[in-house]
Amino acid sequence: MRIETIITDAVTRFLTEKGIDKPDGSLIQIQKTRKEFRGDLTLVVFPLIRLMKKSPQEAGEELGKYLMDLHVIGDFNVVKGFLNLIVESSYWTRFVAQYAGDDDYGIIRPGADRETVLVEFSSPNTNKPLHLGHIRNNLLGYSISLILQANGKDVKKVNLVNDRGIHICKTMLAWQKWGENKTPSDAGLKGDHFVGDMYVRFETAYRAEVNKLVSDGMSEDEARVEAPLIKEAREMLRMWEADDPATVELWKMMNGWVYEGFDVTYKRLGVSFDNIYYESETYHKGKSIVLDGLNKSVLKRREDGSVWADLRERGLDEKLLLRSDGTSVYITQDLGTAVLRQKDYKADRMYYVVGNEQDYHFKVLSLILDELGYEWAGSLEHISYGMVELPTGRMKSREGKVVDADNLIDEMIETAGKLSRELGKLDGLSPSEKEDIVRIIGMGALKYFILKVDPKKNMVFNPEESIDFNGNTGPFIQYTHARICSLLKKAGDQVIKLGDADLSGVILSEKETRVAALIHEFPAIVAEAGKSCSPALIANMIYDLAREYNQFYHDHPVLKEENKAVRDFRLLLSSLTRRVIMRGMGLLGIEVPEKM
């Protein structure tokens, strides 16, 4: 039984014995003891003093003495209404021995009635390759999926590819005008890079046309509408929606190039999907839903023929759903996608991992579905995350000023290899081992640096800071794991069987207790990360564990410890630390090597 549960039950018994009715569970508040005070856990006394009719100091002293009788609390102190509890070494030794061999420690095994949840992430446009912003999205979405799965959910990872619209037509038109009938292989480029170059080519020429019209006396807003290139792109979009054979064939060919490129990048990032939806398919369903809502008078058609949802009575604004020419807008396909997914999976909840600039969009989406009578409309949840920027500022894809995902991955692996060689981390390894470990370190540095930040916050990605074998980085944690693997391998026949461990009488040092207490927190951290959809909670907890373990390892002998019981405990503690690091990093989608 977890120590928090033991304490909660004991406080409840104490109050009952005093003739006090069973308190509301929220009144018994247990938290980690602040570092400046002595203790492992702190019971907040203030909510209980009214029931006990005593001062905070008196109530704390009385509760502390009662808890001492449990023989899991070794000592206590009261500081201004906070009861700081020191947990007995025997509790920690039993805990470590119990879970040292449990590969599933911290993970909830799924039940027969588990919830089905969908997690949508990635959602790329087929007019450009994946970039740094997409990396944050993919890493967040994939990690959140793993964390929800670890919380017993039946998780379906889905991707919605934005493969239609004016931005796609821009690349198609650019290829017709300037592509010279070349393929990506002709140009020696990945397909998504080749098509992305076409998008930049269009925007450059379009901007020149707009500037020319403005210099001729037209306003900029008018020039953006009247520029010949944008008119051609709009006409191409109209032809595509009319199923013009030549336009559709060009669209299929260029999208095929992009998908091949995406697949390579996804594989390198280590992400995968259970299902991929395409806007070119779901927008049809969205249009039919809108027209059905129009027939039921839930939606309204204006004089110009456009269709709108009026959400003013719900505290929002009016929202365009179909343009006057009958073409759909972005939210139209989201309506169709949501309905199709619900039909496919009957999900209890649908999570959308999308940047915070779309906060309003998802409020509107949920309300429109509710207006249209879908009972599950409230199950949609937007996992909003902040912008990712560079030390030099924001990226601009229209100008080609982005950090390409493939180039960044190459840079991370190259830098990891260079630094690892300089520090001697690869000595004694075969060429294939070196290549694999360098990849693991580079990708671990990239993933950890992004995932350790609260998703809701904007962040600055600095590649140089991310690859460091010291500090709050992926390589530091990976090295700690490798260090423990090396220790356990050296232990050889000293590694005891769990059932043979006699840990009675082992008194833990402060550093040993800190390591055990952090491991003890892991299941609660995984649960909280699932509730808040924040991989950062796990990332930073695993860093804290790695840091505390290294301090313990520095100050305490393990294999050279002469007392067998103490040595056995330290080996078990090391083994459990390794398992938790491996499991926690795994929930971030990060591999940990056994040697480096």
Listed by start position, the domains of the chain span 3-87, 121-399, 405-587
pLDDT in tens, 166-225: 999 999 999 999 999 999 999 999 999 999 999 999 999 999 999 999 999 999 999 999
Dihedral sign for Cα atoms in the order 579, 580, 581, 583: positive
User: To the nearest 10°, the Cα dihedral for 589, 590, 593, 596?
Assistant: 170
pLDDT in tens, 83-116: 999 999 999 999 999 998 888 999 988 777 889 9
Check residue 232 and give its pLDDT: 97
Q: Could you tell me which residues come within 8 angstroms of residue 457 by beta carbon, excluding any fewer than 6 positions away?
A: 386
- Which superfamily does 405-587 belong to? Isoleucyl-tRNA Synthetase; Domain 1 (1.10.730.10)
Check residue 395 and give its pLDDT: 42
Q: What is the 3-state secondary structure (H, E, C) of 507-538?
A: CCCHHHHHHHHHHHHHHHHHHHHHHHCCHHHH
Check residue 401 and give its pLDDT: 55
- DSSP helix/strand/coil, 39: coil
Q: What's the CATH number for 121-399?
A: 3.40.50.620
Distance CA 68, CA 70 (A): 5
Give how far Cα 224 sits from Cα of 227, 229, 318, Å. 6, 10, 25
8-17 long-range CB contacts below 8 Å, 24 or more apart?
10/66, 10/67, 10/70, 11/43, 11/48, 11/63, 11/67, 14/63, 14/66, 15/48, 15/51, 15/52
Name the DSSP letter for residue 550. Answer: H
Sequence-ordered strand ranges (E) for 252-364: 275-278, 300-301, 307-310, 318-322, 349-355
Instruction: Supply angle C-alpha 326, 328, 332, rounded to 5.
Output: 135
Is beta strand 349-355 parallel, antiparallel or unpaired with respect to 73-79?
A: unpaired
| Residue of 508, 406, 372 whose CA lies nearest to 132 | 406
Distance CA 501, CA 479 (A): 28
Is beta strand 73-79 parallel, antiparallel or unpaired with respect to 82-87?
A: antiparallel
Distance CA 414, CA 101 (A): 36
16-19 long-range CB contacts below 8 Å, 24 or more apart?
18/52
Check residue 70 and give its pLDDT: 84
Can you name the CATH fold of 3-87?
Gyrase A; domain 2 (3.30.1360)
Distance CA 553, CA 542 (A): 16
Give how far Cα 65 sits from Cα of 10, 30, 43, 438, Å. 12, 17, 13, 54
- pLDDT tens digit at each of 596 positions of the chain: 789 999 999 999 998 888 877 667 778 999 999 989 999 999 999 998 888 889 999 999 999 999 999 889 999 999 989 999 999 999 999 999 999 888 899 998 877 788 999 999 999 999 999 999 899 999 999 999 999 999 999 999 999 999 998 999 999 999 999 999 999 999 999 999 999 999 999 999 999 999 999 999 999 999 999 999 999 999 999 899 889 999 999 999 999 999 999 999 999 999 999 999 999 999 999 999 999 999 999 999 999 999 999 999 999 999 999 989 888 888 999 999 999 999 999 999 999 999 999 999 999 999 999 999 999 999 999 999 999 887 765 444 444 456 889 999 999 999 999 988 888 888 888 899 999 999 999 999 999 999 999 999 999 888 878 888 888 999 999 999 999 999 999 988 665 665 567 888 899 999 999 999 999 999 999 999 999 999 999 999 999 999 999 999 999 999 999 999 999 999 999 999 999 999 999 999 999 999 88
**Number of residues in the chain:** 596
Position 549, amino acid? Y
Check residue 470 and give its pLDDT: 87
Residue 381, strand partner residues: 351
Distance CA 372, CA 377 (A): 9
> Which pTM value belongs to this model?
0.92
Contact 322, 328 (CB under 8 A): yes
